[in-house]
């Protein structure tokens, strides 16, 4: 396929104001002929405008009552228009550009299908912040991660002896865009009831939200599953469900693996 002249680079700004942008991402932001962005705070917005005067927010693609799928499609079209006109385009999203950023993945797919260079650079996600703030090691007992609505409606199978992360608990079951910081309290009640069947109503969970400010603490609200519906939840909240007691190891298999490892 002949390579077209336009290009697309997707980057992340992290969760903390300007401080979690990698040197690689900052260079892509500065060098782009056109910069789009979708960030959470006005400080990062202004910082991006200083780095690249062509900066343009994608936030106006959202509108109350508009299906989020339609908003995402509008973002994709906006990002690709200058790419198809032969320009180098960068799009910066808060957090990691590939974590719960459907329009970023779709824009890259379409750009590549059209013969344009398109890359995604890694960024700092809410999960990365959670691991640091909770002192949680996903390699110790394993970690499962699901979008909360998907977890519920598809009855996702998971291992309760490993940690569980549930994303977007503040917008369970909501397919459109709505004003406000918490979209469906009833959805959290349903989530609480569902989790209680596996873990018990008294099992402690953590509602987590990364701090955007270097001098501010993250939100770490610990409560029982039974009290989850009254927790301080927003659209930025992620739920950490600690594992139940571990199951015993298969000692015969452990010995077999050790013996295999000692063979020349």
Tell me the pLDDT tens digit for each residue of 33-58: 999 999 988 889 999 999 999 999 99
**Annotation marks residue 68 as catalytic:** yes
Please report the pLDDT score of residue 61 as a whole number: 96
Looking at every residue in the chain, the average pLDDT score rounds to: 94
Q: Per-residue pLDDT for 1 more than 60?
A: no
pLDDT digits (tens, 9 = 90+) for 192-236: 999 999 999 999 999 999 988 877 899 999 999 999 999 999 989
Please report the pLDDT score of residue 32 as a whole number: 97
Separation between Cα atoms, residue 79 and residue 118, nearest integer Å? 12
How many Cα atoms sit within 13 Å of 1 on the Cβ side?
10
38 token code pair: 């979708």
42 token code pair: 């006005």
Classified by CATH at the fold level, domain 126-241 comes out as 3.30.950
Domain ranges within the chain, ordered by starting residue: 7-120, 126-241
CB neighbourhood size of 231 (10 A): 19
Is the distance from CB of 218 to CB of 129 less than 8 angstroms?
yes
Please report the pLDDT score of residue 33 as a whole number: 97
Please report the pLDDT score of residue 175 as a whole number: 87
Separation between Cα atoms, residue 200 and residue 225, nearest integer Å? 8
**Annotation marks residue 156 as catalytic:** no
Is the distance from CB of 15 to CB of 214 less than 8 angstroms?
no
For the chain, the three-class secondary structure string (H helix, E strand, C coil) is: CCCCCCEEEEEECECCCCCCCCHHHHHHHHHCCEEEEECCCHHHHHHHHHHCCCCEECHHHCCCCCEHHHHHHHHHHHHHHHHHCCCEEEEEECECCCCCCHHHHHHHHHHHHCCCEEEECCCCCHHHHHHHHHCCCHHHHCEEEEEHHHHHHCCCCCCCCCEEEEECHHHCCCCECCCCCCCCHHHHHHHHHHHHHHHCCCCEEEEEECCCCCCCCCEEEEEEHHHHHHCCCCCCCEEEECCCCCCCCCHHHHHHHHHHHHCC
pLDDT digits (tens, 9 = 90+) for 234-260: 989 999 999 999 999 999 999 999 999
Say which CATH class 7-120 falls into: alpha beta
Query: What is the CA angle 244-98-210, rounded to 5?
Result: 55
CB neighbourhood size of 149 (10 A): 20
Please report the pLDDT score of residue 176 as a whole number: 85
77 token code pair: 């079209």
Q: Per-residue pLDDT for 178 more than 90?
A: no
Catalytic option among 62, 94, 116, 240 = 94
pLDDT digits (tens, 9 = 90+) for 70-118: 999 999 999 999 999 999 999 999 999 999 999 999 999 999 999 999 9
31 token code pair: 């060098």
Radius of gyration of the chain (CA): 21
**Annotation marks residue 94 as catalytic:** yes
190 token code pair: 């349903």
Average the pLDDT over 2-24 and give the result: 88
Average the pLDDT over 3-24 and give the result: 90
């Amino acid at each position: 396929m002949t390579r077209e002249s336009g290009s697309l680079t997707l980057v992340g700004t992290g969760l903390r104001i300007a401080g979690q942008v990698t040197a690689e991402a900052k260079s892509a932001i500065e060098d782009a002929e056109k910069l789009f962005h979708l960030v959470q705070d006005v400080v990062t917005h202004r910082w991006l405008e200083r780095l690249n005067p062509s900066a343009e927010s994608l936030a106006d693609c959202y509108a109350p009552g508009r299906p989020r799928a339609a908003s995402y499609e509008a973002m994709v079209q906006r990002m690709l228009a200058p790419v198809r006109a032969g320009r180098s385009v960068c799009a910066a999203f808060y957090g990691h550009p590939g974590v719960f950023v459907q329009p970023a993945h779709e824009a890259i797919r379409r750009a590549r299908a059209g013969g344009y260079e398109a890359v995604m650079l890694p960024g700092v996600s809410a999960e990365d912040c959670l691991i640091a703030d909770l002192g949680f090691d996903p390699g110790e007992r394993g970690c499962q991660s699901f979008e909360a609505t998907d977890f519920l409606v598809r009855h996702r199978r998971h291992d309760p002896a490993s940690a569980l992360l549930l994303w977007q608990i503040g917008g369970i079951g909501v397919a459109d865009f709505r004003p406000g910081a918490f979209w469906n309290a009833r959805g959290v009640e349903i989530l609480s009831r569902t989790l209680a069947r596996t873990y018990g109503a008294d099992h402690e969970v953590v509602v987590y939200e990364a701090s955007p400010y270097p001098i501010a603490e993250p939100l770490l609200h610990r409560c029982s599953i039974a009290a989850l519906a009254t927790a301080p939840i927003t659209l930025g909240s992620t739920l950490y469900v600690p594992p139940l007691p571990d199951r015993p190891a298969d000692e015969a298999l452990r010995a077999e693996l050790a013996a295999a490892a000692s063979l020349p």
